[in-house]
Amino acid sequence: NLQAEIEKAEQEKARHQEARDRFVANQQQAAERDRRRADLEKFENHLKTLQNELDGKVAAFSQAGRDYDASVHEQLRKDRDTLWGGVNALEQRVKGLNAEVARLSAEVDKLRKIETEIADKKRQITSWGQKAELVRFLRNRVFRNVSASLSERFREEISQRANRIYRTIAEADEELYWGDNYRIILRDMVDGRLRERSDDQLSGGQIMSAVVALRLALLQTIGARIAFFDEPTSNLDADRRENLARAFRAIDVGQEDVTEHWYDQLFLISHDVSFTEITDQVIDLQQSGSP
């Protein structure tokens, strides 16, 4: 009987098992009912909000559809394309202008260098003109005015002394000669023939070297004890400047291959530092307002 009761109970349990499972499952969901109702309410409210927004968007879309003008839209599209084309053209033009600016800048730099060179050449021309003017002055105003008191022998003596000094300054195989009308003449041999050059045929350095040599020889011959030389190295290259300084020193100590000592005081006015080592005293002068 007990076994029959157990089997009967098992059958009863099996008959109610499905209902029990549904009860347990529904019991868990029932426990979440309040939370799910709250979520449902929240989603419903959110749905209403979205619906309202949708209605607004639909209305705005409808209004935009009524306001939309296809021809205006197409014209604006064309205007946009035209503007973009203009922008591209301007970009290309800017690139071209930048290249042109670079080219012009390079040309300006070249022109500035040329301008500087022209200014230097003008200063050289002015300097050479001044030296030429000095030569003409010496010939036309000084030498000719005293020509009556200068005998041929006197001129030859000056010419010989000046030639020795000139050779020391120039270190060239040339002979300085004081010619007729007191012209400055340089003689040398070219291809076995005697060549004579004077004044306009001479370089600025040759003229200045000859003028300095003649002045020294003339001052010595007439017995001057004091001499002034203003910028005697104008148009002289570095070698001639050094040679001129040595010539002044040679005269100071009385070297016979140049000339004997004859002056008491020699004043050299110059921007050149070549004479620094041969001078007894140096006086530096600065322009007013210079640092």
Query: What's the pLDDT score for residue 255?
Result: 47
- Closest of 134, 135, 136, 138 to residue 147, by C-alpha: 138
Q: How far is 113 from 107, CA to CA, in rounded Å?
A: 10
The residue ranges of the chain whose pLDDT is under 50 are 255-257, 291
**Alpha carbon distance 240, 206 (integer Å):** 10
Whether 220 contacts 262, CB under 8 Å: yes
Span 228-252, pLDDT tens digits: 878 777 666 777 777 777 777 666 5
Q: Is the pTM of this model over 0.85?
A: no
Instruction: State pLDDT tens for residues 71-81.
Output: 887 888 888 88
Q: How far apart are CA 286 and CA 269, in angstroms?
A: 13
